[in-house]
Structure 1
Amino acid sequence: MEQPIRILVVADCSAVAYLVEDMRWHGFDAHAAKSGTGAMEEYADYDVLLLDVDLPDLDGLAVCRTIRATSDIPIIGFTSQPSELDQVLCLEAGCDDCIEKPYRSRELVARINAVMRRVRVTDGEPGRQDGQRLSLGPLSIDSVAREVRLHDRLVGTTRKEFDLLRLLAAEPEKVFSREELMTEIWDHPAEADVSPQASRTIDTHVSSLRGKLGGGGWITTVRGVGFRFGGP
């Protein structure tokens, strides 16, 4: 019998007990840590980290950077600020995904399952892995190693950033709609409308990638339609 996904919830708010129980109700083996210090001591025993960036003892983003320096554990950050900047800071600190508080239960569960599917593919379990290396001028994307290099310099990306960049770069002439991106990268139901929050998620990841690649030209916005791969 497959073991349930073990989740460590790192938060200091009145809702943390409810969040843990909610995750258990959905079949996860969830536990709470009320401080950043506790998270850094316990995270190695878990499969996923749900990390509130507002912690009582340490800066949540600093906790994320510290853990990310030695571990590839999936991290989903919580922020109470809906601004694109706050979400970009989460991603740049090493979070694989970022969600606003108050969260929607079904959306959080979907994001956890999506990031775990990507982990299993990366670790060699059955899934889509084409073994292809894309070379586009000074930019190189290795699908097996899941590495991005620009002018032979390694560019650190989160799982979703890598998947988004690879998808766009694989078909550089194609304009991907927001609906297509949400379906392909975030496993959003194809028939469902893209909510304003989901649309901000795309913008956040695009903005973060542009910053890491040193310019906005690599991903071009086609106003009213979506995005396509550009160039330096």
Structure 2
Amino acid sequence: MTQQILLIEDDQRLAEMVRDYLGESDFDVTIAATGTEGLALQRQRGFDAVLLDLMLPDTDGLEVCRTLRATDSVPILMLTAKGEPMDRIVGLEIGADDYLPKPFEPRELLARLRAILRRGKGEDRPDIMRFGTLEIDPQAMEARIGGKVCALTSHQFKLLEIMAGSAGRVLSRDYIMNALKGEDLGAFDRSIDVHISRIRAEIEEDPNRPRRLITVRGAGYVFARSQD
């Protein structure tokens, strides 16, 4: 069944490109050029998802998101022209389901749209990953050893989640940095190695002789499938 998408975007050329591209994947996209028009359309028609530009001519996209969330659980994907970390954080805190910095690849937009639609239906909930006494809980953004929460920053947790999600596979530093696209990469300016070391201090029995997060000399790192 064709899903109805509301795109609140004042850049007509971009809006038409998105409409045409998503139309090829069986989405019916309605365009609103202002936040006021978009809010009115959502109240009238109740779309399956909203693609919401941060910068609008009549109001702030964050305010539109806040207004929608006051009465509506529709999945919201924010489009952020500058990709400023604070804008992303505020957007997520007030109820956006995801964000996508401009310029973006249409395929990535499609993938993120499908993901928030699945989550809106209660699908695609990330399960807890278990490796012996280590638990990695994506929803809570927690890593636990024997039930005790590890002291990891959100960036370090994301790095651990990426490694664990590819357990048994050697990941290069370049691959890891690419997988972290969309994160505040400034948090990694002291190199992946430093953060790996800090993660080991929390999840390894002996950080100097790691059994979980292992260095593969000249290649990168591998998260061991079997550890305990």
Q: Identify if the C-alpha distance between structure 1 residues 128 and 55 changes in structure 2 by more than 3 Å, giving closer, same or farther.
A: closer
Corresponding position of 2:209? none
Is residue 178 of structure 1 aligned with residue 177 of structure 2?
A: no
Corresponding position of 2:100? 99
Corresponding position of 1:156? none
Structure 1: how far apart are the matches of 2:63 and 2:22?
A: 25
Gaps of 5+ in 1: 131-162, 185-189, 207-220
Q: Identify if the C-alpha distance between structure 1 residues 170 and 41 changes in structure 2 by more than 3 Å, giving closer, same or farther.
A: farther
Please, what TM-score do these two structures have when normalized by structure 2? Answer: 0.61
The letter for the 2-side match of 1:109 is L
2:118 and 2:124 in contact (8 A); partners too: no
TM superposition shift of 1:202:
4.0
2:76 and 2:96 in contact (8 A); partners too: yes
Q: Identify if the C-alpha distance between structure 1 residues 166 and 92 changes in structure 2 by more than 3 Å, giving closer, same or farther.
A: closer
Corresponding position of 2:91? 90
Structure 1: how far apart are the matches of 2:163 and 2:107?
A: 16
Q: Identify if the C-alpha distance between structure 1 residues 104 and 42 changes in structure 2 by more than 3 Å, giving closer, same or farther.
A: same
Deviation sequence 1:161-182 (CA, Å, 0-9, x none): xx74425256634975527349
Deviation sequence 1:74-119 (CA, Å, 0-9, x none): 1111111133122212222321111111111111111111112211
Please, what TM-score do these two structures have when normalized by structure 1? Answer: 0.60
TM superposition shift of 1:6:
1.5
Corresponding position of 2:221? none
Q: Residues 149-164 of structure 1: matches in 2 within 5 Å?
A: 164=138
Corresponding position of 1:11? 9
Corresponding position of 2:49? 48
Q: Identify if the C-alpha distance between structure 1 residues 24 and 92 changes in structure 2 by more than 3 Å, giving closer, same or farther.
A: same
Corresponding position of 1:193? 175
Corresponding position of 1:76? 77
Structure 2: how far apart are the matches of 1:50 and 1:165?
A: 23
Divergent runs of 4+, >6 A: 125-130
Q: CA RMSD in A?
A: 3.6
TM superposition shift of 1:5:
2.2
1:64 and 1:95 in contact (8 A); partners too: yes
Q: Identify if the C-alpha distance between structure 1 residues 83 and 168 changes in structure 2 by more than 3 Å, giving closer, same or farther.
A: same
Aligned residues: 171
TM superposition shift of 1:193:
3.1
Structure 2: how far apart are the matches of 1:181 and 1:42?
A: 38
2:126 and 2:138 in contact (8 A); partners too: no
Gaps of 5+ in 2: 129-136, 166-170, 203-228
Structure having the higher Rg: 2
Deviation sequence 1:97-156 (CA, Å, 0-9, x none): 1111111111111111111221112xxx697789xxxxxxxxxxxxxxxxxxxxxxxxxx
Q: Percent identity?
A: 31
Structure 2: how far apart are the matches of 1:40 and 1:167?
A: 32
Structure 1: how far apart are the matches of 2:160 and 2:105?
A: 20
Structure 2: how far apart are the matches of 1:166 and 1:35?
A: 35
Q: Identify if the C-alpha distance between structure 1 residues 100 and 71 changes in structure 2 by more than 3 Å, giving closer, same or farther.
A: same
Corresponding position of 2:140? 166
Secondary structure class of the residue paired with 2:17:
helix
Q: Identify if the C-alpha distance between structure 1 residues 201 and 128 changes in structure 2 by more than 3 Å, giving closer, same or farther.
A: closer
The letter for the 1-side match of 2:20 is E
2:141 and 2:157 in contact (8 A); partners too: no
TM superposition shift of 1:183:
8.6
Corresponding position of 1:59? 60
Structure 2: how far apart are the matches of 1:126 and 1:85?
A: 27
Secondary structure class of the residue paired with 2:51:
strand
